[in-house]
Amino acid sequence: MTQQDQHDGQAGQARQPEQGGPREDPRTPSEHDLDVLSRQLGRPVRDVVEIGARCVCGNPLVATTAPRLSNGIPFPTTYYLSHPVVTAAVSRLEAEGVMTEMSERLTADAGLAADYRRAHAAYLEARNDVGARAGTGAVPEIDGVSAGGMPTRVKCLHVLVGHALAAGPGVNPLGDEAIQRITPWWTQERCSCDGAWDTSGQAPDADLSRHTRTQGLTAEELAAKREARRRGGAGASDVPDITGTTGTTDTTDTTSTIAPSEET
């Protein structure tokens, strides 16, 4: 038995329910899951409702995130791809121009385009369900807006792969395809966690992302800062739009300008 095989077996055994006891919902995040996610992302994870998909060893692959963050900011990316090995593999596809290729195929293949529109609808339905379970209620700012470029183009393969892993095969055709295309670097059948993130010391506890700059502000203060940003005045750079980036809010595609590590 190799060291990796031993690691896989031990990790899987650690998550088995006690004999005769109730079987836990595999989507429910444990403290260990949240610790792992923070290490994978390099900063404290936030507003995780469920674990959308897991490695064969049990570690998180996808964080299912509330549609409104605890600081009040709308968050359209429900299924956030967190595993460093998978995100790196998907980034290689993006660097090779796969997103442009897929977008061109969507304009030429009516069947593929129809399947992709159904994936968009499934994403919206799933996000509403997640919001209901999270207790966030309706988020009108992102109503009808999914993620990753759906339903007409491909703007972020990480979003599509996260959706495909969480929803399972047959829901997001381009996410499924991307999973197949990253098999030279990662597959669902084998654990790739060993050495993929820092496991020494405490998990990251300082969140330096733009989302935190508005935590604790009242609705009036947020509105004033957004108006300052619109006018280019003082404090403009401190207010993230609903994508978590500064600048003009793009309500037609709220994930197109975010690097995956900046989304949740």
Tell me the per-residue pLDDT of 20-59, one tens digit each, with 9 for 90 and over. Answer: 444 578 899 999 999 999 999 999 999 999 999 999 999 9
Tens of pLDDT, residue by residue over 155-198, are 999 999 999 999 999 999 999 999 999 999 999 999 999 999 99
Tens of pLDDT, residue by residue over 130-143, are 999 999 988 999 99
Spell out the alpha helix ranges (H) of the chain.
Answer: 3-13, 31-41, 84-95, 98-108, 110-134, 157-167, 173-181, 219-231
**Token pair for 151:** 């339903």
Strand partners, 62: 53, 81
Domain definitions of the chain by residue range: 25-205
